[in-house]
Amino acid sequence: MESQEPGNKQVTQKTYTKAKTKIPKGLLKKGMKLLTRVSKLLDIV
């Protein structure tokens, strides 16, 4: 399970920076909220 590995956070950051360039600024705020939720879920797992 890759989600349980501590190194997974670095991967999510890389994918986020890549998505950041493609996503319009209007959706960035929504993406940030989703990212925080996902990161909290990963921390719980």
In a domain? residue 23? yes
Task: Note the pLDDT of residue 1.
Answer: 42
Task: Note the pLDDT of residue 2.
Answer: 46
Query: What is the per-residue pLDDT across 1-45, written as a single tens digit (0 to 9) for each?
Result: 444 555 556 666 776 666 666 657 777 788 888 888 888 887 866
Q: Considering its fold, how many domains does the chain have in total?
A: 1
- Chain centre to alpha carbon of residue 37: 9
Residue 20 CA to residue 22 CA, distance in Å, equals: 6
CA atoms within 13 A on the CB side of 33: 4
In a domain? residue 1? no
Provide the domain limits for residue 36.
7-44
Task: Note the pLDDT of residue 14.
Answer: 72
In a domain? residue 39? yes
Task: Note the pLDDT of residue 11.
Answer: 65
pTM of model > 0.85: no
In a domain? residue 37? yes
Whether the CB-CB separation of 4 and 45 falls below 8 Å is answered with yes
In a domain? residue 17? yes
In a domain? residue 40? yes
